[in-house]
A and B are shown apart, each in its own frame.
Chain A
Amino acid sequence: MKAHLMYPDKDFNLNDSLELTRKNLCSDLELEMVFESAACGDNVIYGVFSSGLFSGMTEPETIDIEYRHAILRDCIENADIVRLLYKISREAIEKKRKIWWEPYRNSPSSLMLNSVYLLKILVQKLIELREVADKYSALFKSAGFRNFFMMLQKELDDNYLLLLQTALKELSFENGMLVSVSLGDFNQAVDYILLQQLSKKNIWHNFFSKLELKIAERDDAGHADLSRRRNLALRSIVKTVSNSSMNVLVFFTALQNETAFYTGCLNLYDALQKNGRKICFPSACKEGRNKWIFENLCDMSMSLTDKAELTGNTIKITGKNKIIITGANQGGKTTFLRSIGLAQIMLQCGMFVTADKFVSCIYKGIYSHFKKEEDTSMESGKLDEEMRRMSAIADKIKPGSIILFNESFSSTNEKEGSEICRQITSALTESGVTVFFVTHFYDFSHSLFTAKEPLTLFLRAERMSNGERTYRISEGEPQQTSFGLDIFRKIFD
C-alpha cells in the first residue's frame, strides 16, 4: 500500500545530493529564496521540496503534470487537511528517530522491544490516517487523493486494525515462549524457532512433571542461560518484526515526503498570496518544439521578496532554438532569464507559476551557466573556471535540453569571448539543445544577427528614449552599447 501522491504509479524518491549542475541552477536562479519560503522553517519540507522541484528534470516524460495539478488544486482547497496528513506522518517518523538511539539496539531483546514500541506508535498513526479518510475524503476531487483515501479505508479496515493491536499485545510474550530446536554437532540445542502457541492450556499441563527443568532461584548462570534461550527464540522473529516496523515506516516516510512537497507548495502559495501575486497553472505544449507563450511572467524569487509591483513579460515565441538577449544594463535581462528558468522547472514538476499564462514545451534537462559575480576581472583563471563549469555541463547535457547563459565567458576580451560563445552555442543548438543567451558581447550578438539564421531570435531589454528602463523585454536587434552611460548619469547626476 502506497500513497502515490506524486506519481500515479511510481514512488517519489528523494535525491539528496544535488549534483554540480543542479547546484549551479540553484545559485544561478536564486532558488534558495524559493526553498526557504516553501519550507517555512521546516527542514523536512526544505529537503523534500528542494529535491521535488527538480523531479521534473530527470525523466520528465514520467511526470503526469495534470495529475499533480489536480492534487495541488485539492491542496489549495483543503489546506488544513493536507497539513494534518503531513503532521501525522511527520510525527510517526520523529518518534522513530528518538527510539533508535539505543546503544544495544542489536541484541534481539532490545531490538524486539524497540520494534514493538515503534509498531505501537505506527499503528496508532495508521488509525489516525483512517480517521482522516473517514471524515474528509468526500471533500477531495483529484484522482490522486481519492485513490489514496480509498486505499486507506480498504487496507486499514476495522478488522485489520484489530488484528494489528492483538498481535502487538502478544509480542510481549507474557505467557512464555514455545520454541522448537534441533540437535547440534554435539547435541546441543540449535536452530531456535519460535512457535505459535496454539492452545495456552496444554503447555502447562505438565506442572511438576518429569519433563520439566527448574532453575533454582540463586542459580545466576542458569537464569542467564534462560534469557539467552529467550533471546535465541526472539532471534528467529526479530528480523521479521523489525522489518515489519521498518516497512510500515517506509509507508509513512513516503507519505511524509509526498505531503511535504505539497505542504511546501502551499506555503509558497500563501507567501505569494500575501504579496498579492497572481499565479496560474501552466500548460505544456504537447506538439512542436521551442514554443513559448507567456503573459505577465514574473520571477518568483522577486515575487516573494519584493513587495513592489513587478513588471511581467509578455512574449510569444515559436520555433526558435537560439534566443539572444541583449540590451540595457540593469534592464531586467537576468531577471527575465531567471523567470524563464524557474517557470520551466515549475512547469515540469507540476507546480504553478507566477504569470497570468505560461505555455512551454517539456525539456529533457534544464541547465544554467551564469557569470559569477566575482568573475569580472579578466584573469585567465576565471575563464578556466567558467570553462570547467561548462565542461561539467557538457558531461551531462542531452539533446532536447534547454540551457540558460548569462553573460558567460565574459571574463576574457570581447573578441575571444565572442568566439567561444559562438562555438559553444552553435554546437549546442546543432545538437538539439535550446539556448537562451544573455550577452553584452556585441561582436557575438551582431554576428549572429547578420547571419540571419531562421531559428535565432533577438530580444532586447527595453529602454525609453529618455533613458528610463521599463524592465520589459521585447524583440529587438542587438545594439552597440549597453547604455551603461545611462546608469552612470543616473548615479552621478
Chain B
Amino acid sequence: MAFTSVLFPENYTNRDTLDEAPDYFRDLNLDQIVDEIISDKRLEYLKRHYYTAIESAETIRYRQALFSDLKNSKILLDTLLNFAKSISYMDSGRIKICDALLSNIAYRCTYLEKSRLYSFVQNYCVKTREIFSYLEKNETSSEALNGFKEYLRNYISSEYFIELERSTSLLKAKFSQIRYTMSIKDSSIVVDKYKDEPDYSSKIKNLFEKFNYGSADDIHIEDQPADFAEHVEAGVLKLVATELYPGIFAELDSFCSKYKNFIDPVICLFAKEITFYTSYLGFAASLENKGLTFCIPAIDKDIKNIYANESFDVSLAKKLVRQGQQNKIVCNDFALYQNEKIIVVTGPNQAGKTTFARLFGQVFHLAAIGCPIPGTSASLSICDSIYTHFERQESLITLNGKLHNDLSRIHSILNTATARSVIVINEFLASTSLEDSLFIGKEIIQEISKLGSICVYVTFIDELSVCTENIVSMTGSVLPEDPTKRTYKITRNKADGIAYAMHIARKYRLTHELLMERIKL
C-alpha cells in the first residue's frame, strides 16, 4: 500500500474521527487549548483530529515520530508549514478561478483569470519541487515523512508532472518577453507595443546632475494599493491578448482547459494534515519560549510505571503567559509505580489541586492523539477512555438534586470504565455532611480500585488518602515562612492538615507557646 496520510499509517484503516469534542474536554479545559491552537478559522477541519483519541500504539507512534522530526528541526517545520500554506492557498484560489472560467460569463471568464490559473500552476510546480529537494537533502526519521518523500519522488518523475512543468515554462518564457505601453490621457488608455522610447526619469536626472552631491535622501514613497479595478486590468489585458499578442494568449487558453485540476489529491491532503503538527508545535513553542518544556512521552498499552516530570496545566500556562505572568507557572510531577493506581490529592484551598487534576487528564488525552505533552519526560499508558467529573456551581438545582446528579454521573462512569480508563474526579461531595462524604468517597474510591482504572481524586477529606492500598497521597503546600502563600506544588506527602494549621497559628501568634506568652502579658 502506498503513502496516503501523515496522520495514519498505511495499514490503519479505522480513520473515523469525532465531529464533536468528547465530554471531558470542558472539564479539562482542552476546549480552550484547541481553540487556542486553531485560532485560524480556515483550519477548523483539524479540530476533529484533536478530538479523537487513538487507541493504536502504532498510530500514536507514527505521529510521535513525525512530531519528533519537526521538534528537532525548526527549519523543517517552517518549510513544511510554508509549503502547506502555499498549497491550500493555491487550492482555494484554483476552485474560485475554475468556477469563474466555467461560468462562461464574459466579465468573469477573462484572460486575467486564466493568467491567475497559470500563475498558480507555475507556483505549484516550483513549490512541489522545492519541498521534494528539501526532504531529499535533509534526513528525516519518521515513517510519515519518508513515505511522503517517496510519494513525491514518484510524482515528480511522473509524465503528468513533467508535462505540466514544461508547458508552464514555455508560457513563462513567452510572457516574460512582452513589454507594452499605455498612453493614459483623460479617461482612456491606448495600448501598443513598446518601441524603445527612452525613460523619463533619466531626462530629469541629467538636467539636475550639476546639483547631485551624492547625498540625496532615500525618501519613502507610499506604495500604491495593489488592488486594481478588475475590469480595467482585464480590459487592458484583453487588448494586449487579442490585438498585440494573440498567438501567445491562444496557448494560454489551451493550457487552462488542460490543467484546471492541477493539484495532486495526496499532496493536497498532506498540506491539510501536516497543519495538525505545525499548529500544535506553534502553540507549544509559544510556551517553550517562556522556559516551559514539552516532551514526547513513552507510551504503551501496559506500562509498569506511569509518570510525568515538570508537567503543567497547558490552558493555565497559556493564560498566565498572555497576562505576562509566566513566572507564576508552577510545574508538577506525578508518578504511579507498580501497583499504584489512584492519586488522592488533598491540601489547602487554592493550592493548585484542581490544576493538578486537569494537567493529569490533559497529558493522557494529548498523548492519546500523538502529541508532545507538557513536561520534561513522561511515560504513559494508552487509555481506552477518559472520564472526568468536576464540581460545578449550578444554582438552579437544589443541594439534594445536585448530589443526585453527581452520583448518577459517577455511577455511569463506574459502569463503563475499565482497567484501561483514566478517571479524574474533582471534589463534589461538599454538599453533604462530612460523615456522608467520607462514606461515599470511600465507596467510590474502593470501586475504582477494584476496576483498576487510573484515577486522580481531588478531595478535602484527608482520610480518603488512606482508604485502600494502591493509593498515592499527594498534597498541596504553603510557604513555611508565610502560610498565606501557596507554592502550587503538589507533592507526594502524607495528608495532614495540621502542618498548614500550625503555620497559620504561628502567623497569628496563636500557637500554644505564643498564646501562653500572650496570656501571661
Contacts and interface: CB of A to CB of B under 8 A. Distances in A.
A438 B342 CA distance: 91
Nearest to B219: A242
Contacts of B215: 250
Interface in B175-215: 175-176, 178-192, 194, 197-201, 203-205, 207-208, 210-213, 215
Given A176-B185, A222-B231, A224-B229, A185 B119 contact: yes
Which of B180, B183, B188 has the most chain A CB atoms inside 10 A of its CB?
B183
A450 B182 CA distance: 93
A231 B183 contact: no
B163 interface: no
Interface stretch (B14-22, B236-244, B426-434, B455-463): B236-244
Given A186-B119, A203-B190, A212-B188, A193 B199 contact: yes
A248 interface: yes
Contact of B199 (A195, A214, A230): A195
B521 interface: no
Contacts of A188: 112, 115, 228, 233, 237
B222 interface: yes
B217 A243 contact: yes
A348 B191 CA distance: 66
B75 interface: no
Interface in B386-432: none
Given A212-B188, A247-B211, A176 B205 contact: no
B188 A214 contact: yes
Contact of B205 (A107, A221, A244): A244
B225 interface: yes
Contact of B207 (A183, A189, A197, A244): A244
Interface in B89-141: 111-112, 115-116, 118-119, 122-123
A178 B176 CA distance: 21
Given A217-B187, A247-B213, A107 B198 contact: no
A243 B219 contact: yes
A175 B183 CA distance: 10
A198 B211 contact: no
A198 B219 contact: no
A362 interface: no
B216 interface: yes
A194 B208 CA distance: 18
B235 A213 contact: yes
Contacts of A175: 185
B506 to A, nearest CB: 49
Contact of A107 (B123, B178, B189, B222): B222
B232 interface: yes
A195 B198 CA distance: 6
Contacts of A223: 187
A232 interface: yes
Contacts of A239: 201, 219, 221
A352 to B, nearest CB: 31
A398 B176 CA distance: 63
A192 B21 CA distance: 54
A402 B182 CA distance: 69
A188 B232 CA distance: 10
A225 B229 contact: yes
B180 A180 contact: yes
A230 B178 contact: no
A180 B204 contact: no
B194 A180 contact: yes
B216 A243 contact: yes
Contact of A230 (B184, B192, B213, B236): B184
Given A196-B198, A244-B208, A178 B231 contact: no
A359 to B, nearest CB: 38
A233 B187 contact: no
Interface string A223-259: 1111011111101111111111011101100000000
Nearest to A194: B200
B228 A225 contact: yes
Contacts of B122: 185
A404 B324 CA distance: 56
A187 to B, nearest CB: 4
Contacts of B184: 176-177, 179, 226, 229-230, 233
Contacts of B222: 106-108
Contact of B183 (A108, A196, A203, A240): A203
Contacts of B244: 211
Given A214-B187, A228-B224, A248 B175 contact: no
Nearest to A221: B229
Number of contact residues on B: which range applies? 35 or more
B258 interface: no
B518 interface: no
A416 interface: no
A132 to B, nearest CB: 18
Interface string A190-223: 0001111110000110100111111111000111
Contact of A178 (B197, B203, B225): B197
A250 B186 contact: no
Contacts of A224: 229
B211 A222 contact: no
B176 A196 contact: no
A314 B122 CA distance: 89
A155 interface: yes
B204 A167 contact: yes
Nearest to B119: A186
A111 interface: yes
A248 B211 contact: yes
A210 B235 CA distance: 12
Given A235-B224, A243-B216, A178 B199 contact: no
Contacts of B112: 186-188
A29 B180 CA distance: 70
A452 B215 CA distance: 57
B520 interface: no
B182 A229 contact: yes
Nearest to A2: B213
B229 A206 contact: no
B220 interface: yes
Contacts of A197: 197
Given A222-B232, A230-B184, A250-B215, A182 B207 contact: no
A237 B204 contact: yes
A1 interface: yes
Nearest to B185: A176
Nearest to A244: B208
A164 interface: yes
B45 to A, nearest CB: 28
- In this complex, the member of B116, B122, B207 whose beta carbon has the largest number of chain A beta carbons within 10 angstroms is B207
A250 B217 CA distance: 11
A491 interface: no
A222 B191 contact: no
B229 A222 contact: yes
Most chain A C-beta atoms within 10 Å of own C-beta, residue among B189, B233, B243: B189
Contacts of B119: 185-187
B212 A247 contact: yes
B182 A181 contact: yes
A6 to B, nearest CB: 16
Contacts of B213: 2, 247, 250
Interface of A: 1-2, 106-108, 111, 155, 163-164, 167, 175-183, 185-189, 193-198, 203-204, 206, 209-217, 221-226, 228-233, 235-244, 246-248, 250-251
22 contacts: A106-B221, A111-B219, A167-B207, A178-B181, A185-B122, A185-B123, A187-B111, A188-B228, A196-B199, A211-B243, A213-B236, A213-B239, A225-B228, A225-B233, A226-B189, A232-B224, A235-B221, A235-B224, A246-B219, A248-B211, A250-B213, A251-B211
Interface of B: 111-112, 115-116, 118-119, 122-123, 175-176, 178-192, 194, 197-201, 203-205, 207-208, 210-213, 215-217, 219-222, 224-225, 228-229, 231-233, 235-237, 239, 243-244
Given A195-B181, A250-B215, 4 more contacts: A177-B185, A179-B181, A188-B112, A197-B197
